Structure 1
Amino acid sequence: MLGLRQPDLAVCLEKVHKPHNLAAMMRNCDATGVHHLHAIWATKHQIRRGTAVGSQNWLKLHSHKTSADAIGQFKAQGMQLLVTHLSDKAVDFRQVDYTRPTAILFGQERTGASEEAIAAADQEIIIPMLGMVQSLNVSVAGSLILYEAQRQRQQAGLFATPRLDEAECQRILFEGGYPKLAYLCRIKGLDYPHIDDEGQIQADADWWQIMQQDGRVALQEAPQILSGWQRKMLGN
């Protein structure tokens, strides 16, 4: 899965306020190989774990207080910015080249993308509608556009070679596979250990000894459940 991630294809949700839409978009990203999901919001929302189906454990979620912050980051990375917006300048989303470094911005459910985002867009895109309604639900629109991006990138061979750097792969493997141990590392200030090809932790005795110190008390505050062998290693 990590070998298929596309670090130069990002999704940005601009003030999307419905938690289930955020969770559904995370699921879309995970399914299509998108690694970075950006959210612009004044107040963070709780991720609906049932809708996300665990996708939040395998993505990199970036939070921004303003649209300018997110847009500035995309521009600094040399990414083309696509904004979903119904206008005379907009083109069919299938006419865009998604093999380029790309960030796709989806606006708020009711009002759409902000004027600031539209002004910064390299291209406005639309999903053609043949009925009376002018738009689809944001997560549905996201799935259509992301699967077109996936199709183009598959044809271009961009999934053939792993593109996510090893440090990020190791972070995901440890935090996703050992959430409580990752929690302890953070509160104890420990570096994450290496995860081998079998998914096992490679750490010396000193690392485990530090993890065992006051481990029981700290783990009572963590949300996930350790497996039996992990509890044994921590003396819990």
Structure 2
Amino acid sequence: MIINNERIIRIREVLEYRQEDLLLILDNIHDPHNASAILRSADAFGIDSSHFLYTQDEQLELSDGVSGHTLKWSNISTYDSTTELMKIMRTRKIPVVATVIGENAKSYEKRDWTLPAAIVFGNEQNGCSDEILKIADELITIPMLGFAQSLNVSVAAAIIFSEIRRQREKKGMYKKNWSKRKQEWLDYWIEREYASRLRRKLPKTPKL
């Protein structure tokens, strides 16, 4: 048998914990190590899918090593238009929550993360783009107590994801759940494993 039952059970278990109403948006992140580290945290905390927006920079070459070899299990899509990306968020009725630096935003700890969210992290120099800030439904920040006014974007993501998990675990939202969409991803991942090992054509990726 090319894929043993334990492997299939593990793949299904990971999918069961994925939170379908939690999405990640990376707004013109240009450091591949930061992007890969964020994807690793997203996988660890059950973020459903990751959406890369490139309106300023070219697409990145992500590092599978930095991501803890989670790239192949990450549901990733890329966009070169903010409008195109926002159409998807509006269709799925998921609020856009942009991370910013400053006192005019809500502390990430005060946000109710049991509610749906598409969390946006901006690039390392300029933060979220003006386009994103104009259309964001909410702004959140990580309050700083020292001389530093910001954190590395991958560190900030891990902190916020940890709070999301804390709130959702308290509400029992990580209990095993299944859906037609998750079944499609399970079928895809298993078929891809077979195709890769038998050197066959890879299956078509399911819709995000």
Q: Which runs of no fewer than 5 residues in structure 1 stay unpaired?
A: 193-236
Q: TM-score, normalised by structure 2?
A: 0.83
- Which deviations, in whole Å up to 9, do the C-alpha atoms of 1:17-47 show, x marking residues without a partner? 0000111011001100112011112422111
- Contact 1:14–1:67 (8 Å) recurs in 2: no
Distance 2:194 2:155 in 1: 32
Name the % identity: 29
Distance 2:199 2:132 in 1: 36
Compute the RMSD of aligned alpha carbons.
2.0
Distance 2:204 2:153 in 1: 38
Answering whether residue 188 of structure 2 is matched by residue 171 of structure 1, we say: yes
Answering whether residue 26 of structure 2 is matched by residue 9 of structure 1, we say: no
- Contact 1:82–1:125 (8 Å) recurs in 2: yes
**Superposition deviation, residue 181 in structure 1:** 4.8
Shift of the 97–48 alpha-carbon distance from structure 1 to 2, 3 Å rule, reads same
Q: Structure 1 residue aligned with 2:129, among 109, 114, 119?
A: 114
Instruction: Tell me which residue corresponds to 2:200.
Output: 184
What is the count of residue pairs matched by the alignment?
188
Q: Structure 2 residue aligned with 1:134, among 149, 153, 156?
A: 149
Shift of the 7–132 alpha-carbon distance from structure 1 to 2, 3 Å rule, reads same
**Superposition deviation, residue 182 in structure 1:** 8.1
Distance 2:112 2:161 in 1: 12
Higher relative contact order (CA 8 A, sep 6+): 2
| Structure possessing the higher radius of gyration over alpha carbons | 1
**Superposition deviation, residue 95 in structure 1:** 0.7
* Secondary structure at the counterpart of residue 38 of structure 1: strand
- Which deviations, in whole Å up to 9, do the C-alpha atoms of 1:140-173 show, x marking residues without a partner? 0000001111111111221113245211122123
